């Protein structure tokens, strides 16, 4: 069973239908006045958390203070963290802050991202791969493709995401520098901007299990950091990331770094869906690489960040200004991608919207859905608890709703029928 990371506070949920109407996979229903998430359909994009007017939806994260037993705690900050602070002149200040709040070391995910960039350039030169290559860095996009675009699975880049490579490198570094540490002494803490990455870490990737031990919310860490970060202190720790690594935090950063003009970068879940539809239909220009981010603006738009994604992006521009282009390079004679950072495993394709395992039964149900749909008012008000009249008709046929729930028809006996499929 897939473990999700979006959680509902039933006390706060008023059943207002806002999340119902915004869910891109129609995974939410309102039942008995509360939102209910269909776990098979949910892709952990966090859209419902973003839109909930009552703050009833939360991403499940761990609290840093509950995991103090690790002898050696390493912070793995997502690059989006650097875009949260006003007037930040130097990334080092943030890294020092992480040490000051109790981490023993810091390993920047942005550093690993620069390696992924290098590997991507190598991978794009591989003969016989399916183009366009689609970035596998956003776990929401990977899950969306595995659930809804099975034909595009082979386009996904089979390289582990930066956070996973950062985890491997951080553990290795800790053991080299501190040979007295055992594996279980080392705690790898990912500072996450979004619930998508939380779910990815909890579930792994096909058979692959994540190397991260604890996921903490960027928001939580932010509030701890602003208490300790001081400009005038000279940090003992120096960032090991260039412009490229920091650039991964916002949409277009990953793809522009491949140094090839034939790329596309789309962000926001609706746009991602449109681009995937276009690729599937063969209706896009010849492209080498496609970067897709479920959140508007890229990772800086994650629901566990503080700052508006556009402001964060602008801040990152000034943080990046005096950085070298890239600090982490592969050796020049390296022409292959090592096995331990490749990931061939993808979640199994599951036809989650299939009506029935039997084709004839599905046909019969679909006919019924069309009939019921034709009698519904067609205003998609959501009052019945389903996102659209069409979804409501389907819920009725699936036995998950009753037609008496339609408030509109029950008010006016002469419900206008509308004809569309």
Partner 1 sequence: MSESLTFHFDVDGEDFTSAGQASVQVKKNLRRLGISPEIIRQVSIAMYEGEINMVIHAGGGTADVIVSEDKIEIILADKGPGIADVNLAMQEGYSTATDQVRSLGFGAGMGLPNMKRYTDEMIIDSVVGEGTTIRMVVNL
Q: How many residues bind partner 1 (CB under 8 A)?
A: 27
- Within positions 270 to 329, which residues make up the interface with partner 1, using CB under 8 A? 277, 280-283, 285
Interface with partner 1 by CB under 8 A: which range of 5-13, 27-35, 263-271, 356-364? 356-364
Angle at CA of residue 321, ends 157 and 167, nearest 5°: 40
Binding to partner 1 by residue 347, rule CB under 8 A?
no
The residue within the footprint of partner 1, chosen from 355, 376, 384, 396 (CB under 8 A), is 355
Which residue, 308 or 362, has its beta carbon nearer to partner 1?
A: 362
- Which residue in this structure is represented by tokens 């030169």? 125
Which residue, 54 or 356, has its beta carbon nearer to partner 1?
A: 356
Binding to partner 1 by residue 417, rule CB under 8 A?
no
Pick from 137, 93, 78, 117: nearest CA to 312: 78
Binding to partner 1 by residue 131, rule CB under 8 A?
no
Q: How far is the CB of 31 from partner 1 (least distance, A)?
A: 21
Which residue, 141 or 258, has its beta carbon nearer to partner 1?
A: 141
Binding to partner 1 by residue 61, rule CB under 8 A?
no
The residue within the footprint of partner 1, chosen from 68, 87, 286, 360 (CB under 8 A), is 360
Interface with partner 1 by CB under 8 A: which range of 80-88, 91-99, 108-116, 347-355? 347-355
Structure tokens at 219: 């928001």
In three state form, how does the secondary structure of 91-130 look?
A: HHHHHHHHHHCCCCEECCHHHHHHHHHHHHHHHHCCCCCC
Interface with partner 1 by CB under 8 A: which range of 66-74, 210-218, 313-321, 346-354? 346-354
Which residue, 68 or 283, has its beta carbon nearer to partner 1?
A: 283
According to DSSP, residue 62 is labeled B
Pick from 239, 274, 283: nearest CA to 81: 239
Contact by Cβ (8 Å): 155, 279: yes
The residue within the footprint of partner 1, chosen from 223, 310, 344, 359 (CB under 8 A), is 359
The residue within the footprint of partner 1, chosen from 126, 233, 318, 362 (CB under 8 A), is 362
Q: Number of helices and strands (H, E) in the chain?
A: 15, 11
Binding to partner 1 by residue 412, rule CB under 8 A?
no
Interface with partner 1 by CB under 8 A: which range of 145-153, 224-232, 297-305, 334-342? 145-153
Q: How far apart are the first and last CA of the chain?
A: 34
DSSP string covering 391-403 = HHHHHHHTTS--G
Pick from 322, 289, 346, 247: nearest CA to 119: 289
CA Rg, the chain, in Å? 23
What are φ and ψ of residue 134, in 5° steps? Answer: -105, 130
Interface ranges with partner 1 (CB under 8 A): 148, 150-151, 277, 280-283, 285, 349, 351, 353-357, 359-364, 366-367, 370, 394, 421
């Amino acid at each position: 069973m897939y473990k999700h990371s979006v959680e509902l506070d039933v006390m706060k949920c008023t059943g207002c239908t806002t999340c119902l109407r915004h869910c891109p996979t129609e995974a939410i229903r309102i039942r008995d006045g509360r939102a209910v998430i269909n776990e098979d359909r949910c892709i952990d994009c966090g859209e419902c958390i973003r839109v909930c007017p009552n703050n009833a939806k939360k991403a499940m994260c761990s609290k840093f203070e509950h995991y103090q037993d690790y002898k050696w705690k390493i912070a793995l900050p997502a690059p989006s963290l650097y875009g949260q602070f006003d007037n930040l002149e130097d990334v080092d200040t943030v890294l020092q802050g992480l040490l000051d709040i109790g981490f023993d070391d810091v390993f920047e995910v942005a550093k690993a991202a620069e390696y992924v960039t290098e590997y991507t350039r190598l991978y794009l030169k591989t003969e016989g791969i399916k183009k366009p290559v689609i970035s596998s860095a956003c776990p929401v996009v990977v899950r969306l493709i595995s659930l809804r675009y099975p034909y595009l699975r082979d386009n996904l880049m089979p390289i582990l995401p930066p956070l996973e490579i950062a985890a491997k490198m951080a553990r290795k570094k800790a053991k080299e520098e501190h040979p007295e540490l055992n594996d279980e002494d080392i705690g790898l803490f990912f500072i996450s901007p979004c619930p998508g990455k939380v779910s990815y870490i909890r579930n792994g990737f096909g058979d692959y299990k994540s190397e991260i031990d604890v996921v903490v919310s960027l928001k939580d860490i932010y509030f701890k950091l602003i208490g300790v970060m001081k400009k005038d202190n000279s940090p003992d720790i120096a960032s090991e990331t260039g412009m490229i690594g920091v650039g991964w935090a916002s949409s277009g950063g990953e793809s522009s770094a491949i140094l090839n003009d034939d790329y596309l970068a789309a962000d926001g879940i609706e746009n991602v869906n449109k681009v995937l539809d276009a690729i599937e239909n063969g209706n896009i220009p010849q492209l080498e690489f496609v970067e897709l981010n479920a959140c508007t603006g890229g990772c800086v738009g994650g629901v566990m960040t503080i700052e508006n994604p556009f402001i964060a992006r602008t801040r990152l521009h000034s943080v990046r200004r005096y950085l070298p282009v890239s600090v982490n390079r592969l050796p020049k004679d390296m022409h292959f991608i090592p096995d331990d950072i490749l990931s061939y495993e993808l979640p199994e394709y599951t036809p989650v919207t299939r009506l029935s395992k039997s084709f004839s039964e599905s046909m019969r149900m679909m006919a019924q859905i069309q009939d019921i749909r034709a009698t519904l008012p067609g205003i998609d008000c959501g009052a019945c608890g389903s996102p659209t009249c069409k979804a409501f008709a389907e819920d009725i046929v699936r036995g998950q709703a009753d037609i008496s729930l339609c408030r509109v028809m029950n008010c006016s006996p002469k419900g206008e029928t509308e004809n569309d499929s």
